[in-house]
Amino acid sequence: MNKVQLAVIGAGVIGRTHIDRIGRSGNLVLAAIADPTDSGKALAESLGVPWFADPRAMLDTARPQGAIVATPNATHVDVATACLQRGVPALVEKPIADTVAEAQALIDAEQRFKTPVLVGHHRRHNPILRRAREIVQSGRLGQLVSATALATFLKPDAYFDVAWRRQAGGGPILINLIHDIDMLRFLLGEIASVQAVSSHQARGFEVEDTAAAVMRFASGAIGTVLVSDAATSPWCWDFCAGEQGQYPRQNVQTHFISGTHGSMSLPDLDLWNYRGERSWHAEMTQERSAVHQADPYTGQLQHFRAVIEGREAPLCSALDGLRTLQATLAVREAAQSGQAVQLAG
């Protein structure tokens, strides 16, 4: 079996997560690490792989078949474009960019260089979410009418020792809620408009610690999302879906999708419907879909291999990444302005 050679650009927490999964795979190999820090150089040395301070030098010398861009958000488009210019497919961590205009620039580059981009919204590769999407698309829930997503958790005080996490743009809307917005887009389709409120009362920082939004989907369904990083609460996908081993597992549900003929909770994949009379006076039936547990980061890398080899189209394309970013930025804009924000179709 030929192993696909992947380079990792950015050896922070998420970059190291990808490096770990590459090391565990049987058909991928770490070709190089590009990271200007001493810790990045030390990691490369410990793994016995080439190290570069500059990603362009790495791309020109190591010539990987694919590259994972796990650099700071503001550099995503510049680094990913350098990959595409050299014909190297890029897995770009979320968010795809800091602004919608920058995200569009990456889409333009992808088309210009005819080289694919996969955006790292890893939850799409969780078997639970893949099965949920199948259920929705099968029509078993009927016409979708509502969705609810909870993302409430407590970040430790030490987390905010880093200055940018106390400043606007460093809060749970752009860091955490973006995952849940992408999940709802994956399940329910495009978002047409957003209304929102936010608060920084719990900590008093410039950045929000809590926000809520109401979203109207293009289908007519209504979604509500609530995020807080100041809440002592178990209702968070990372706690209950089993994706992140560093968090204690909680047996709770965080996402709820309702339709005219049934409803579904996640991550347990419980389905509720009426088998006979459809009325609130009638008994409901509950059933559960059981799926195999699998690591979504591993699944994402295997999908990236298929994208590199031309066997699959990106599950989360650059356009998908742009639209999720656009909806997330709309939550912040609506909260600041007090006005509904309309999204481009």
What pLDDT digit, counting tens, does each position of 75-116 carry?
A: 999 999 999 999 999 999 999 999 999 999 999 999 999 999
Q: Are residues 157 and 57 in the same domain?
A: no
Number of domains in the chain: 2
pLDDT of residue 220: 97
Place of tokens 């997560």: 17
Q: What is the CATH number of the domain that holds 245?
A: 3.30.360.10
Burial of 156 (0-12, 13-18, 19+ CB in 10 A): exposed
Q: Are residues 104 and 47 in the same domain?
A: yes
Instruction: Decide if pLDDT at 8 tops 90.
Output: yes
H helix or E strand, kind and range, residue 28: strand 28-34
Q: Are residues 257 and 196 in the same domain?
A: yes
All residues at 6 or more sequence positions from 134 whose CB lies less than 8 Å from its CB, including other chains: none
Q: Are residues 160 and 245 in the same domain?
A: yes
**Strand ranges inside 123-269, DSSP E:** 144-152, 191-199, 210-217, 222-228, 255-259, 263-266
Give the pLDDT band of residue 1 (cuts 50, 70, 90). Answer: low
pLDDT tens, 153-176? 999 999 999 888 998 888 999 999
Give the pLDDT band of residue 143 (cuts 50, 70, 90). Answer: very high
319 within a domain of the structure (yes/no): no
Q: Which stretch of 158-172, 253-267, 290-304 has the lowest confidence by average pLDDT? A: 158-172
pLDDT tens, 12-29? 999 999 999 999 999 999
CA angle 182, 185, 191 (to 5 degrees): 115
309 within a domain of the structure (yes/no): no
In angstroms, the CA 34 to CA 58 distance is 6
The number of angstroms, rounded, from the C-alpha of 208 to the middle of its chain's C-alpha atoms is 20
Instruction: Decide if pLDDT at 340 tops 90.
Output: yes
Q: What is the CATH number of the domain that holds 87?
A: 3.40.50.720
Give the pLDDT band of residue 345 (cuts 50, 70, 90). Answer: low
Q: If you average pLDDT over every residue of the chain, what do you get?
A: 96
315 within a domain of the structure (yes/no): no
pLDDT tens, 16-64? 999 999 999 999 999 999 999 999 999 999 999 999 999 999 999 999 9
204 within a domain of the structure (yes/no): yes
pLDDT tens, 316-333? 999 999 999 999 999 999
317 within a domain of the structure (yes/no): no
User: Can you give the residue range of the structural domain that contains 60?
Assistant: 4-115
Q: Are residues 238 and 158 in the same domain?
A: yes
CB 224, CB 199: distance < 8 Å: no
45 within a domain of the structure (yes/no): yes
Q: Are residues 15 and 80 in the same domain?
A: yes
Q: Are strands 66-69 and 51-52 parallel, antiparallel or unpaired?
A: unpaired
Q: Are residues 147 and 275 in the same domain?
A: yes
Instruction: Decide if pLDDT at 246 tops 90.
Output: no
Domain boundary among 70, 95, 115: 115
pLDDT of residue 170: 86
H helix or E strand, kind and range, residue 84: helix 76-85
In angstroms, the CA 181 to CA 95 distance is 12
Instruction: Decide if pLDDT at 313 tops 90.
Output: yes
Q: Please measure the distance between the N-terminal and C-terminal CA atoms of the chain and give it in whole angstroms.
A: 43
pLDDT of residue 164: 87
